[in-house]
Amino acid sequence: MTAVVIDEVLQEFAAQVGESGPVAIEGSRTRWTLGGELAAGTRLLRAPAGILEHVPDEMTVRVRAGSTVADLHRALAEAGQHTALPDRGGTVGGALAVGENDLRVLGRGWIRQSVLQVRYVSAEGRVVKGGGPTVKNVSGFDLPRLMVGSLGTLGLLAEVILRTNPIPSSSIWITSTDVDPFAVATVALRSSAVLWDGAATWVSLEGHAADVDDQHHDLKTIGNWTTVEGPPLLPGHRWSLAPADLRRLDGRSTGSFVASIGVGTVFASQPQPARAMAAPVADLNRRMKEQFDPTGRLNPGRRTGSN
């Protein structure tokens, strides 16, 4: 990790963070309780906002962490592009901190893989850069991927460079109540999402119009489908399971749920029970926390690995 020359906006943000005392970043609060409640007395700050540079030919965008995903995607849409960030409200930094992918992750990619560079404020109040505008420039710690899903416990995101993707020329959602959701992938090989609530299945098809039509036609061989405006409403809690474990969901532990087939993410009406973390993973988390935030001042009370 090396300190870098920074602009006045990031200097001011780092000064606000300072060198001591519990501190956290407040965005739109769309995922505010994920990872646990903040410790009492934690000082709340807002990350800087603004879209700094979009290079459509390179398919990259540099954006401040406090910018909303909606504002970012509106700006990128003018060039026919978007990112892998979820369109569920909230800020860029918030989505990255909780590691939430778009529902259409199978087609749009994982956010951890789309983050090329981060600038964050460390526990010592310094701005640190990790990664580079192209993958080949990344060396040492893979800080961009490390920060994704860290809940702000290792550093407070200030600015990122993200990979962008073309907006598909055709995009539809379809639903069925007589289809095995686990059979969809054997018929539609390029679906962007397969969602299941225990009774109905939703599929997102994206791409060139002819390809979408072909996949839609193929899916009719395994059931009846209705075109709908979008995915189902999602319950408030987010679980993480092995994709193979989704077959055993029955609602007794989750309440109402919407599962992302092939991904392992489950949106449930009940919080996920606490899981004992494997000893090697727990030890690695502890050592990373000790290295990045030895006094525990960044987002105290938040715990990675809890939903």
- Strands, E assignment, 93-250: 115-121, 127-131, 156-163, 165-166, 170-176, 193-196, 201-207, 226-228, 237-240
Query: How many angstroms separate the CA atoms of 208 and 116, rounded?
Result: 27
Burial class (CB in 10 A: 0-12, 13-18, 19+), 120: buried
Q: List the one residue out of 99, 123, 119, 122 whose CA is nearest residue 111.
A: 99
Model confidence at 139, in pLDDT bands (50, 70, 90)?
very low
Q: Is the pLDDT of residue 141 over 90?
A: no
Q: Specify the pTM.
A: 0.89
Cα 99 to its chain centre, rounded Å, is 4
CA distances from 7 to 11, 19, 121, 228 (A): 6, 19, 13, 46
Q: Is the pLDDT of residue 276 over 80?
A: no
Query: How many angstroms separate the CA atoms of 228 and 217, rounded?
Result: 16
Q: Is the pLDDT of residue 138 over 50?
A: no
Confidence at residue 306, expressed as pLDDT on a 0 to 100 scale: 52
Give residue-wise pLDDT tens across range 81-134.
999 999 888 999 999 999 989 999 999 999 999 999 999 999 999 999 999 876
Domains located in the chain, CATH noted: 2-166 (3.30.465.10), 170-268 (3.30.70)
Query: How many angstroms separate the CA atoms of 22 and 156, rounded?
Result: 12
CB 246 within 8 A of CB 264: yes
CB 170 within 8 A of CB 208: yes
Give residue-wise pLDDT tens across range 218-238.
999 999 999 999 999 999 888
Q: Is the pLDDT of residue 150 over 60?
A: yes
Q: How many residues does the chain have?
A: 307
Q: List the one residue out of 232, 229, 293 whose CA is nearest residue 257.
A: 232
Model confidence at 137, in pLDDT bands (50, 70, 90)?
very low
Show the tokens assigned to 234. 């999602």
Confidence at residue 252, expressed as pLDDT on a 0 to 100 scale: 85
Beta-carbon-side half-sphere exposure of residue 58 (alpha carbons within 13 Å) = 12
Query: How many angstroms separate the CA atoms of 151 and 31, rounded?
Result: 10
Confidence at residue 191, expressed as pLDDT on a 0 to 100 scale: 95
Q: Is the pLDDT of residue 6 over 60?
A: no
Model confidence at 155, in pLDDT bands (50, 70, 90)?
very high
Average pLDDT over residues 43-47: 97
CB 31 within 8 A of CB 98: yes
Query: How many angstroms separate the CA atoms of 264 and 235, rounded?
Result: 15
**Other Cβ atoms within 10 Å of 218 Cβ, number:** 14
Model confidence at 167, in pLDDT bands (50, 70, 90)?
very high
Going by their DSSP bridges, the two strands 51-55 and 170-176 should be labelled as unpaired
